[in-house]
Amino acid sequence: MWGSRRSASWPGTSAGLPRWPKSKRSRRRVTAEHAARRLAGCDVVFGCTDDNAGRLVLSRLPTYYLTPVIDMGVLLSSDNGRLTGIDGRVTVVSPGSACLVCRGRIDLARAGSEQLPRR
């Protein structure tokens, strides 16, 4: 997942030209509390998690912290070991819009099982 730290205003250069805000990439599991809390201060979060539990955490950011989330996913399809399709999805979840659960992008049963302790 990628996110940029929330700033009070759009940063500018001394010449008055806009520049991109700083961004940070994290490979930590968003289901870990300390990783999720870091995202609360971001301006925008790009979600690329492969699990439903992580997607469930990301889906709460727009509602709880007014942080927009751009969630992306890729599905590889195969038939007898032969690649038959590559499909992509981009879902923008902004404050006030339907979350990923309401849009059917999260399997809640799988999210629950993904949160079980691992041996």
Residue ranges that bind Zn ion, judged by CB under 5 A: 99, 101-102
Between 38 and 71, name the residue whose CB sits nearer to Zn ion.
Answer: 71
Q: Distance (Å, rounded) from C-alpha 6 to C-alpha 65?
A: 11
- Which residue's entry shows tokens 């979840």? 93
**Considering the complex, what minimum distance in angstroms separates the CB of residue 63 from Zn ion?**
8
72 vs 102, which CB is nearer to Zn ion?
A: 102
Closest separation between CB of residue 118 and Zn ion, Å?
A: 28
Closest separation in Å from C-beta 116 to Zn ion: 23
Of 102 and 108, CB closest to Zn ion: 102
What's the rounded Cα separation, in Å, for the pair 48 and 88?
12
Strands, E assignment, the chain = 2-5, 24-25, 42-47, 69-79, 82-93
39 to 2, 9, 67: CA distances (angstroms) = 9, 18, 8
Nearest distance from C-beta of residue 9 to Zn ion, angstroms: 31
When the beta carbons of 30 and 99 are compared against Zn ion, the nearer one is 99
